A and B are shown apart, each in its own frame.
Chain A
């Protein structure tokens, strides 16, 4: 079956079919009803005519046979459309014909047992006739009387036609009305479609149309919610791209200026140490720009993910231990003590579903932050534990902690805390915690940043 995509065509078709069905049913119903009524009416006429005939038979029936010549049929010279041709026979008890019309049908109907007449449809001269047989009240005669059915059928058809015809005539009008009304009703939808068509990444204004159909209002509301979300997302993207470009400018400016300083420090009276220092700074600047680009790419890949691309069983204690061992050299270079702590019961028993690579990145970012902002001779602990039945990874340092007022801003992209100004190595991209936060979201974990009671910062990844 063809599914109609157009509301207009569907409505038109449905209404037309329904109307046709009603029309058909009304026509057929009226036809049969009229037929039945006409039959009753004509049967009554037959009965009346029979009784009239019988009353005309003289009490002494024997006289009838003497005049044994057929009576002229009533079927000739009909003067009214509904005047029925009528044929009859009067028989005595033995079945002998006493009197009959000229074309009277010869069929003999079963003798009625009592006063009730017997009716039957018969074939007479190749046409259907209605025939009735009735007994005289004294039981001496039997009257057979018949007329053609043709008129009865004509009455049925005429009545049925008169009932059905107006409906048939109304059908095109109805279709036209439906068409116009649907067309008018769909106007607001078309306007809505035009409105939506004008929306683009540059124009995500919400749709406002007080004349929108009530039925379309949920659609408009949903579209507006979508537009609002889209606008917010796009806005974020644009800001992020702009921020990213600006963030790259600072290391580039540093590389450029250091390279120019290096160039200027060649020549008479210049200092070789200054020259080398400037060149090393050029390299450091390139490293930092590279790191920033890597972090940007990582975020760009993580941002659109709705869920983890792959997920396996991960032993958190083993993961933490391996990150700690990987980063020992960095810690030693910064004269810091980096240790892994886990209760004996936790070894091999804390497992989560997730992506080991991403969790490794998150933990490394947290440890790097701790190494960066903790002064020399600091202590950094990486812990894997189960707290209130929930797996938890945490990184604690003995650094300065964070100011209460700036804690909420730490997760902002490119935000670098006050500690950055004081840190010896402030090569952070400002994206580290944003990346950790995104990885935490993908693992259904929470990132919690708190100052420790005795000083220092504790950052926890807590599974929900």
Chain B
């Protein structure tokens, strides 16, 4: 899962990035509203964590711009203002959720999980297909009721594919989900992890669509 973090405060930004990395998100961190706007134009993110008080372009304006372009990326806003007027303004501008500073890391992670889950159209907290059940909060995967051990990268890849069930995911998209900016990706990583997942869940669980990418489920 790839998340854009728009936060000007170096200490808080660093902390949120580290905290999300602990939850195996690939985090891109930008420090002003304009850079945030450009990043959202350029890339597809599973979610965006947006501070409201930003230099160059404030969070609300960024949010309105984003929604104005029809972008539906789930956005969680961080605000220092705890009056309901501020929260209402944020939600009305198109935010999906908000957190008031100072907030809890576990809560931030949980809210992001919920946002991403809802964005994928699933109401249930777990994702499942063909006997495979993935629990994003507990980081557990089971096959026919029996737990399966996965590495962090394998988990992220499986999570991505299950979140986009019945849709083809290009190799580049899967790569972006695995790595944040500046992280070196080896050329055949995605293939390596797909191979590992097929060994654990069966060759037919993830299908290759030649020239396009990979898919879990039926191609519609």
Question: Of residues A254, A256, A258, A278, which shows the largest number of chain B Cβ atoms within 10 Å of its Cβ?
Answer: A254
Interface string of A191-216 (1 = CB under 8 A from B): 00000000000000000000000000
Residues of B within 8 A of A257 (CB): 12, 15-16, 19, 102-103, 105, 108
| Chain A residue with the shortest CB-CB distance to B19 | A261
How far apart are the CA atoms of A252 and B12 in the complex, in Å?
9
> Is the CB of B191 closer than 8 A to any CB of chain A?
no
Interface residues of A in 218-268 (CB under 8 A from B): 246-247, 249-258, 260-261, 264-265
In the complex, which of the residues B15, B16, B19 has the most CB atoms of chain A within 10 Å of its own CB atom? B15
Min CB–CB distance B212 → chain A (angstroms): 35
The one of B11, B104, B106 that contacts A285, using a Cβ cutoff of 8 Å? B11
A interface majority secondary structure: helix
A440 lies within 8 A of chain B by Cβ: no
Which of A251, A416, A421 contacts B11 (CB under 8 A)?
A251
Verify if B8 is at the interface (C-beta below 8 Å from A): yes
Q: Which residues of A contact B18 (CB under 8 A)?
A: 258, 261, 265, 274, 277-278
**Partner of A420 from B55, B105, B108 at Cβ < 8 Å:** B55
Asked if A462 is an interface residue, CB under 8 A from chain B, the answer is no
CB distance from A204 to the nearest CB of B (A): 22
Cβ of A265 and Cβ of B22 under 8 Å apart? yes
A421 touches B31 (CB 8 A): yes
Tell me which residues across on chain A come within 8 A of B135, comparing CB atoms. Answer: none
Taking a contact as CB atoms under 8 Å apart, the answer to whether A256 and B55 are in contact is no
Q: A246-B80, A253-B101 are in contact. Are A426 and B10 (CB under 8 A)?
A: yes
The answer to whether the Cβ of A418 comes within 8 Å of any Cβ in the partner chain is: yes
A-B contact pairs, 17 of them (CB 8 A): A249-B100, A252-B101, A255-B102, A256-B104, A256-B105, A257-B19, A257-B103, A260-B106, A261-B19, A265-B22, A278-B15, A285-B11, A417-B55, A420-B8, A421-B8, A425-B10, A427-B10
Which residue of A has the minimal Cβ distance to B9? A250
> What residues on B are CB-neighbors of A274 within 8 Å?
18
In the complex, chain B residues 94-116 whose Cβ is within 8 Å of any chain A Cβ: 100-106, 108
Determine the distance from Cα of A425 to Cα of B11 in the docked complex, in whole angstroms.
Answer: 10
Which residues on the A side are within 8 Å of B55 (C-beta)?
416-418, 420-421
User: Do A247 and B15 touch across chains, with their CB atoms under 8 A apart?
Assistant: no
B80 touches A254 (CB 8 A): no
Q: How far is the CA of A252 from the CA of B11 in the complex (A)?
A: 10
Q: Which residues of B contact A288 (CB under 8 A)?
A: 11
A349 on the interface (CB 8 Å rule)?
no
| Interface bits A416-441 vs B (CB < 8 Å: 1, else 0) | 11101100011100000000000000
Given contacts A258-B14, A278-B18, contact A264 B105 (CB under 8 A): yes
Asked if A281 is an interface residue, CB under 8 A from chain B, the answer is yes
For chain B, give the interface size range. 20 to 34
Q: List A residues 18-45 near B (Cβ within 8 Å).
A: none
Q: Please tell me if A186 contacts chain B, counting CB pairs below 8 Å.
A: no
Closest to B35 in A: A421
Say if the beta carbon of B56 comes within 8 Å of chain A: yes
Known: A258-B14, A265-B22. A253 touches B56 (CB 8 A): no
Is B105 a contact of A281 with CB atoms below 8 Å?
Answer: no
Q: A residues within 8 A CB of B100?
A: 249
Contact A258 B15 (CB under 8 A): yes
Residues of A within 8 A of B108 (CB): 257
CA separation between A261 and B104, bound complex, in Å? 10
B81 at interface by CB-CB < 8 Å:
yes
A257 to B55, CA, bound (A): 22
Q: Mark B7-37, 1 if CB is under 8 A from A, else 0.
A: 0111110111011001000000001100000
Verify A421–B32 contact, CB threshold 8 A.
Answer: yes
A274, B17: Cα distance in complex, Å: 12
The answer, yes or no, to whether A284 is at the interface (CB within 8 Å) is: yes
Docked CA distance A372–B32 (Å)? 18
- Chain B residues near A252: list those with CB within 8 A: 101-102
Roughly how many angstroms separate A180 CA and B118 CA in the complex, as a whole number?
A: 79
Q: What distance in Å separates the Cβ of A401 from its nearest Cβ neighbour in chain B?
A: 16
Please pick, from B22, B31, B81, B103, the residue contacting A261 in the complex, using a CB distance under 8 A: B22
Complex contact A247–B19 (CB within 8 A)? no
B56 and A250 contacting across the interface, CB-CB below 8 Å: no
A253 to B11, CA, bound (A): 9
- The 0/1 profile, CB within 8 Å of B marked 1, for residues 269-281 of chain A is 0000010011001
Tell me, in angstroms, the Cα distance from A416 to B8 when the chains sit together: 10
For window 282-300 of chain A, which residues contact chain B by CB distance below 8 Å? 284-285, 288
**In the complex, how many angstroms separate the beta carbon of A403 from the nearest chain B beta carbon?**
10
Chain B residues in 8 Å Cβ range of A265: 18, 22
**CB-defined contacts of B102 to chain A, threshold 8 Å:** 249, 252-257
Q: How far is the CA of A420 from the CA of B10 in the complex (A)?
A: 10
Known pairs A251-B11, A254-B12 / 9 extra A-B pairs, C-beta < 8 Å: A254-B9, A254-B11, A256-B104, A256-B105, A257-B108, A258-B11, A278-B15, A421-B56, A427-B10
Closest CB pairs A-B (n = 5) = A257-B15, A253-B102, A254-B11, A253-B101, A260-B105
**Alpha-carbon gap, A297 to B58, bound state (A):** 28
